[in-house]
C-alpha cells in the first residue's frame, strides 16, 4: 500500500520512541520506495526540496530509486554539508559532467560496475557504501551549480542534486522550502507532501513537526513541479504573490521580492477572520517556531486585536525573539491570550533539547463569508521578514474539517508537553 493522504506528525524525544520520532521522515521514505517504473508509467519522477539532509537511510533510498529507473531531482540549501548529502551528490550528479559520456566515473546513478562496463573502478575490499566515498569525482560537485535550463546537463538518468546560492529565487536568504513530490507510486498519482520538517535527525528528534499529504490533485502537483523547476534554474521571484488553488487547497511560494505589510499573504489571511461565528467565538490555535522583527510584530498586533475583539487565541511558541516573547507574556498576564512555551532544557546546558518547529495556524469560526470555517494554514514559513521576501518557502492552506481536527489534536499534544505562561501564575 502507498502512503495515506492527510496530516502526519512526529513526536520528538523524550516523549516518543523511534517510530514516533521518525514518523514524517519514514512517510517520505515509504513513498520513495513505492515509486517504481511500470509499463504504463515508464518515467516516474521524485522532486524533493529540503533545507537539511543528513539521514543516511533517506539517501540510500533515493539512490536505490534512481538505480531502478526513477528520476530523482533534489534541491538543497547551499549550507548543506554532511557525508550523506555528499554521497547523494556524487551518486546523482556523477553523469552530469561535460566531456565524453563514457567517462568511467559517470555510471548509472554512480553504480559501482566493473571497468569493462564503463562504471566505477572498484578498489579491492570496497563495499558499495564505501565505494561512493572512495571515488568522489570533482565533476559531480561542479554540477551542483547546474543544471541550468538545458536538461541535457542532467545526465542520462534525468537525476540531479542542486544546491542554491542563498535562496534559489531570492536575493540572499536560504532555500528553506520542504516539499516532496511523487508523480506516481504503486497506489496513487500526483502526490504532494508539504512539511515543516527536513529530512534529518534533528527534525525527527528535537522538534515537533507536521506534514500534510495531498493525493491525486494534478493542478496542485503541477504547480509544485513548475516551482521546483524555477528553483532549479535560479529564476528570480517577482514582487507578486505566486499561488496555486485546487479544491480546498491553496499553495503559496515565496519569496515575494517586493513584499510589504500591505501585501503579506499571512496578514491578509488573518484579516479575513471574524470573531463571531456559527460555533460561537472563533477559535484560533497557533504553533510557531521562529517569530521576530517587524513582520513578527505586526502579525502579533493583528492576533492581539482579534483576541481583544472576542476570538479565543491560544499560542504555543518555539523560538520567539525576546521582545516578542515579552509582549506575548504581557498579553497572557492580562488574559488577552493563552500562552505556552514548548522549549525544554533537560540537561541545563543552556540549549533547548526540544521545542515546536511547526509553523501553523488553526481557525474554527468565521473566515471571510464562511461562518462555519475549518482552516489549517501550514508550511515552512516562519513569521520573520526573510521568510516573506528573501528565502524559498512554501505554505499550504487547507480548508477541510478533517485536517483541522488532526491538527488540533497535534496542537493539544504540543501544549500538554509545554509550560503555561506567565510562569509566576503557575508556581
pLDDT band at 324 (very low <50, low <70, confident <90, very high): very high
Cell numbers that stand for 177 in this block: 522550502
Sign of CA dihedral 369, 373, 379, 385: positive
Q: Are 97 and 139 in contact (CB under 8 A)?
A: yes
d(CA 260, CA 263): 5
Instruction: Provide the pLDDT for residue 294.
Output: 97
Instruction: Provide the pLDDT for residue 11.
Output: 98
pLDDT band at 386 (very low <50, low <70, confident <90, very high): very high
pLDDT band at 404 (very low <50, low <70, confident <90, very high): very high
Instruction: Provide the pLDDT for residue 95.
Output: 78
pLDDT over 70 (residue 348): yes
From residue 199, alpha-carbon distances to 50, 67, 194, 226 in Å are 7, 20, 12, 22
Overall average pLDDT of the 385-413 stretch: 97
Q: Are 142 and 364 in contact (CB under 8 A)?
A: no
237-249 residue pLDDT tens: 887 889 999 999 9
Instruction: Provide the pLDDT for residue 104.
Output: 42
Half-sphere exposure of 417 (CA within 13 A, CB side): 24
pLDDT band at 128 (very low <50, low <70, confident <90, very high): very low
DSSP string, 214-246: E-S-HHHHHHHHHHHHHHHTT----SS-EEEEE
Instruction: Provide the pLDDT for residue 349.
Output: 81
Q: What share of the chain is helix, strand, coil (3-state, %, to 5)?
A: 35, 25, 40
Instruction: Provide the pLDDT for residue 82.
Output: 83
d(CA 180, CA 46): 7
pLDDT over 80 (residue 151): no
Overall average pLDDT of the 288-307 stretch: 98
The full set of domain ranges for the chain reads: 6-232, 252-426
d(CA 319, CA 12): 16
Superfamily of domain 252-426: Endonuclease Chain A (3.30.870.10)
pLDDT over 90 (residue 397): yes
Overall average pLDDT of the 213-230 stretch: 95
Q: Are 251 and 177 in contact (CB under 8 A)?
A: no
Contacts of 306 (CB under 8 A, 6+ apart): 270, 273, 275, 282, 284, 313
Instruction: Provide the pLDDT for residue 129.
Output: 36
From residue 37, alpha-carbon distances to 65, 66, 183, 188 in Å are 10, 11, 11, 13
Q: Are 398 and 249 in contact (CB under 8 A)?
A: yes
Instruction: Provide the pLDDT for residue 131.
Output: 32
| The model's pTM | 0.89
pLDDT band at 41 (very low <50, low <70, confident <90, very high): confident
Instruction: Provide the pLDDT for residue 132.
Output: 32
Q: Are 167 and 390 in contact (CB under 8 A)?
A: yes
CATH assignment of 6-232, among 3.40.1160.10, 3.40.50.300, 3.30.70.1450, 3.30.870.10: 3.30.870.10
Closest-CA residue to 76 (of 186, 278, 232)? 232
76-86 residue pLDDT tens: 988 767 889 88
The single-letter DSSP state of residue 404 is H
Contacts of 135 (CB under 8 A, 6+ apart): 90, 105, 120, 121
Instruction: Provide the pLDDT for residue 110.
Output: 65
Instruction: Provide the pLDDT for residue 423.
Output: 65
Query: Of 59-73, 289-303, 338-352, which range is least confident?
Result: 338-352
Two domains, one topology: 6-232 and 252-426: yes
pLDDT over 80 (residue 121): no
135-148 residue pLDDT tens: 344 545 555 554 55
pLDDT over 80 (residue 344): yes
pLDDT over 50 (residue 119): no
Overall average pLDDT of the 340-367 stretch: 93
Please report, in angstroms and rounded to a whole number, the separation of the first and last CA atoms in the chain. 50
d(CA 194, CA 189): 16
Overall average pLDDT of the 323-340 stretch: 98
Is 397 exposed, middle or buried, given 0-12, 13-18 or 19+ CB atoms closer than 10 A?
buried
Amino acid at each position: 500500500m502507498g502512503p495515506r493522504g492527510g496530516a502526519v506528525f512526529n513526536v520528538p524525544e523524550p516523549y516518543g520512541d523511534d517510530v514516533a520520532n521518525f514518523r514524517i521522515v519514514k512517510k517520505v521514505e515509504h513513498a520513495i520506495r513505492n515509486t517504481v517504473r511500470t509499463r504504463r508509467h515508464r518515467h516516474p519522477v521524485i522532486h524533493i526540496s529540503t533545507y537539511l539532509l543528513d539521514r543516511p537511510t533517506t539517501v540510500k533510498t533515493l539512490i536505490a530509486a534512481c538505480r531502478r529507473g526513477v528520476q530523482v531531482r533534489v534541491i538543497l540549501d547551499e549550507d548543506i554539508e554532511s557525508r550523506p548529502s555528499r554521497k547523494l551528490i556524487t551518486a546523482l550528479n556523477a553523469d552530469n559532467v561535460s566531456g565524453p559520456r563514457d567517462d568511467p566515473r559517470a555510471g548509472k546513478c554512480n553504480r559501482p560496475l566493473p571497468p569493462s562496463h564503463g562504471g566505477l573502478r572498484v578498489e579491492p575490499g570496497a563495499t558499495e557504501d564505501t565505494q561512493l566515498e572512495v571515488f568522489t569525482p570533482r565533476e559531480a560537485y561542479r554540477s551542483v551549480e547546474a543544471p541550468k535550463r538545458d536538461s541535457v546537463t542532467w545526465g542520462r538518468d534525468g537525476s540531479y542534486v542542486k544546491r542554491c546560492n542563498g535562496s534559489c529565487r531570492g536575493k540572499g536568504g536560504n532555500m528553506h522550502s520542504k516539499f516532496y513530490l511523487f508523480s506516481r507510486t504503486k497506489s496513487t498519482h500526483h502526490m504532494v507532501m508539504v512539511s515543516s520538517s527536513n529530512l534529518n535527525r534533528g527534525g525527527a528528534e528535537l522538534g515537533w513537526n507536521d506534514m500534510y499529504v495531498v493525493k491525486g490533485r494534478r493542478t496542485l502537483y503541477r504547480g509544485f513541479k513548475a516551482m521546483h523547476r524555477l528553483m532549479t534554474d535560479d529564476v528570480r521571484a517577482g514582487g507578486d504573490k505566486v499561488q496555486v488553488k485546487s479544491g480546498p487547497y491553496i499553495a503559496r511560494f515565496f519569496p515575494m521580492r517586493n513584499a510589504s505589510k500591505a501585501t503579506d499573504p499571512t496578514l491578509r489571511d488573518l484579516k479575513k477572520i471574524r470573531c463571531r461565528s456559527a460555533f460561537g467565538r472563533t477559535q484560533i490555535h497557533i504553533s510557531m517556531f521562529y517569530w521576530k522583527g517587524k513582520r513578527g510584530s505586526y502579525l502579533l498586533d493583528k492576533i492581539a486585536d482579534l483576541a481583544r475583539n472576542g476570538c479565543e487565541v491560544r499560542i504555543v511558541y518555539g523560538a520567539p525573539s525576546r521582545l516578542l516573547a515579552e509582549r506575548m507574556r504581557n498579553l497572557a498576564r492580562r488574559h488577552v491570550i493563552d500562552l505556552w512555551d514548548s522549549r525544554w532544557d533537560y540537561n541545563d546546558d543552556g540549549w533547548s533539547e526540544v521545542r515546536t518547529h511547526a509553523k501553523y495556524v488553526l481557525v474554527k469560526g468565521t473566515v471571510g463569508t464562511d461562518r462555519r470555517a475549518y482552516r489549517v494554514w501550514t508550511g515552512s514559513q516562519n513569521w520573520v521578514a526573510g521568510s516573506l521576501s528573501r528565502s524559498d518557502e512554501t505554505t499550504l492552506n487547507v480548508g477541510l474539517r478533517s485536517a483541522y481536527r488532526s491538527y488540533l489534536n497535534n496542537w493539544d499534544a504540543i501544549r500538554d508537553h509545554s509550560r503555561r505562561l506567565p510562569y509566576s501564575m503557575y508556581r
